[in-house]
Amino acid sequence: MTELAGKHIVLGLSGGIAAYKAAELCRALVKEGASVQVVMTEAATQFMTPVTLQALSNRPVVMSQWDAREPNNMAHINLSREADAILVAPASADFMAKLLHGRADDLLSLMCLARPMDTVPLIVAPAMNREMWQHPATQRNVAQLKADGTHVLAVGTGDQACGETGDGRMLEPEEILQDLIAFFTPKTLQGQHWLITAGPTFEAIDPVRGITNLSSGKMGFAIARAAAEAGAQVTLVAGPVHLPTPRGVQRVDVVSAQNMHQAVMNASDAATVFVATAAVADWRPATAAEQKLKKDGSGQVPALSFVENPDILAGVAQSARAQSGALYCVGFAAESHDLLAHAKAKRERKGVPLLVGNIGPATFGQDDNALLLVEASGTQELPRNSKRALAQQLVAEVAQRLKARP
């Protein structure tokens, strides 16, 4: 996908060791379809060479307001008028203080001050030592920059170049890229709270064995990311998967179906949309052995008895909030055959307005999928695509249905 296609980003670098991350960030922006114009301060050139960023952006790097290549000698005007956004990464403590006071003693700060504020947003990714970040002066500056309309990204936590550990690291390039994509995403879900389940559940047989399935959780995580980018508050209840938490999403980790049921019930009262993508085990062992069950050489297999797990989707769909229309429920069905027939039957059985079907064996663990939307009025196919693209399409489809409700 090229999610920034048609966007022109001015990537500004101020002085700081995190400038080395700007090379990967520039590459990622270009890979997503954006055109990138790099502007560097003199201090930034002490940490990263203009030649590197010129090669990655395929454009000459601009460093001086007196750049003779500009016919009118007004680089600060020309560069800012062409941009869809100015992204300063890294933004040092000194540079943010300069922005706050409206100082303009180099091209980058001059360009930020001269940009049309209503059409060219300014986004900064802070990067500094933990003490500098926590200093009251920096925190005052950040608060005032936000009040002035600057979009200040969060900082990372971890090891710093100085040898200390804490807040103040610049976000990683992939995190900044995701935040930028989210920034440009229309906020069609503003004011909504989406509750999403994802991944498999694990039903213990003994301390080391259990019953589970092949669900990777990728579809549910993709939906959580897309919903958050569209402005929703998102709570993601995740079974045992190895996936990073999407930016801006609150994650609740669970293991068993009973754990997931309890977590969903705890969060459902605050939700406006419930999307049940998790592949929840239908049954669990009636009792889990306290010790590992071992072979004894007799050839006898331990007798296992099962009980049915709570039906999370049906339980939420039958709640008073769902019945009143305050909570919109979307179910998922992973089938092995006869998708349409099984999906229709499941939608009616669960009592949900929208059921999303797919062929489980063809999608578990994969990065792509094909979806079938089933509702009372008919069906709609979402052809095979990346799970990221399908998640965005599904979020848009749900947003349209919510908007059309009386």
Chain segment 106-118, per-residue pLDDT in tens: 999 999 999 999 9
Supply 39's token pair: 């502007």
DSSP per residue, 23-47: HHHHHHHHHTT-EEEEEE-TTGGGT
Selecting from 2.160.10.10, 3.30.360.10, 3.40.50.10300, 3.30.530.20, what CATH number does the domain 193-286+300-404 have?
3.40.50.10300
For the chain, give every residue range classified as CATH 3.40.50.1950. 8-184
pLDDT tens sequence across 359-378: 877 788 889 999 999 999 99
CATH number for the domain formed by residue range(s) 8-184: 3.40.50.1950
Determine the average pLDDT of the residues in 290-297: 88
Residues 376 and 353: beta-carbon distance below 8 Å: yes
**Residue bearing the bigger pLDDT, 296 or 178:** 178
Q: Where are the alpha helices (DSSP H) in 34-157?
A: 50-57, 75-82, 93-101, 107-114, 130-134, 136-147
pTM of the model: 0.92
Determine the average pLDDT of the residues in 309-325: 96
Catalytic residues: 162
What is the amino acid identity at position 218? K
% of the chain beyond a pLDDT of 70 = 100
Instruction: Report residue 1's pLDDT band, with 50, 70 and 90 as the boundaries.
Output: low
Give yes or no for residue 296 having a pLDDT over 70: yes
Give yes or no for residue 301 having a pLDDT over 90: no
Instruction: Report residue 170's pLDDT band, with 50, 70 and 90 as the boundaries.
Output: very high
pLDDT tens sequence across 130-164: 999 999 999 999 999 999 999 999 999 999 998 99
Radius of gyration of the chain (CA): 26
pLDDT tens sequence across 46-95: 999 999 999 999 999 999 888 878 878 788 888 889 899 999 999 999 99
Parallel, antiparallel, or unpaired for β 378-386 and 368-375?
Answer: antiparallel
In the prediction, which pLDDT does 334 show? Answer: 85
For the chain, give every residue range classified as CATH 3.40.50.10300. 193-286+300-404
